[in-house]
């Protein structure tokens, strides 16, 4: 089966050896997606809602580049450095997935590669 690799242009992709998304057959897996600003650096510093929206934007672009759509997302994972901020992340998540309702997990983590990142998202898709 063919393997399609999708890059978001993140400087971490070649450094770590990862793809933003990988499609094999009807499955698209999206790696942990951080709130990296368009020109680099941290998007929306200190703002969980804004950072979540940025993560979703990057993630949905990768899904589209792999031939999928938001409706194909079957599972998301939302990782936060402070679980108390989950409602802010949930609001952004719900704006995209409110009607789609994928399986979703929110977890608290100790930290991310960059100190300013407050959230990262992952997704799995099943494309028809």
**Structure confidence by residue, pLDDT tens digits, 64-107:** 999 999 999 999 999 999 999 999 999 999 999 999 999 999 99
Residue 107 has a pLDDT of 98
Residue 20: give its domain's CATH number.
Answer: 3.30.1330.40
* Host domain of residue 34: 3-126
- With a CB cutoff of 8 Å and minimum separation 6, the contacts of 25 are 1
Of 73, 76, 74, residue with least CA distance to 107: 76
Write the pLDDT tens digit of every residue in 14-63. 999 999 999 999 999 999 999 999 999 999 999 999 999 999 999 999 99
Secondary structure (H, E, C), 42-98: ECCCCCHHHHHHHHHHHHHHHHHHCCCCHHHEEEEEEEECCHHHHHHHHHHHHHHHC
Calpha distance 61→68 (Å, rounded): 9
Count of domains in the chain? 1
Whole-structure pTM value = 0.96
Residue 101 has a pLDDT of 98
């Amino acid at each position: 089966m063919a393997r399609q690799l999708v890059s978001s242009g993140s400087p971490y992709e070649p450094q770590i050896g990862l793809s933003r998304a990988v499609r094999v057959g009807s499955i698209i897996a999206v790696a942990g997606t951080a709130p990296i600003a368009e020109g680099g650096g941290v998007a929306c510093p200190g703002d969980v809602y804004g950072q979540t929206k940025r993560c979703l934007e990057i993630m949905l672009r990768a899904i589209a580049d792999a031939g999928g759509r938001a409706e194909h997302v079957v599972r998301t994972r939302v990782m936060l450095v402070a679980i108390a901020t989950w409602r802010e992340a949930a609001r952004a998540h719900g704006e995209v997935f409110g009607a789609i309702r994928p399986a979703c997990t929110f977890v608290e983590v100790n930290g991310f590669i960059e100190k300013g990142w407050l959230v990262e998202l992952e997704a799995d898709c099943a494309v028809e």
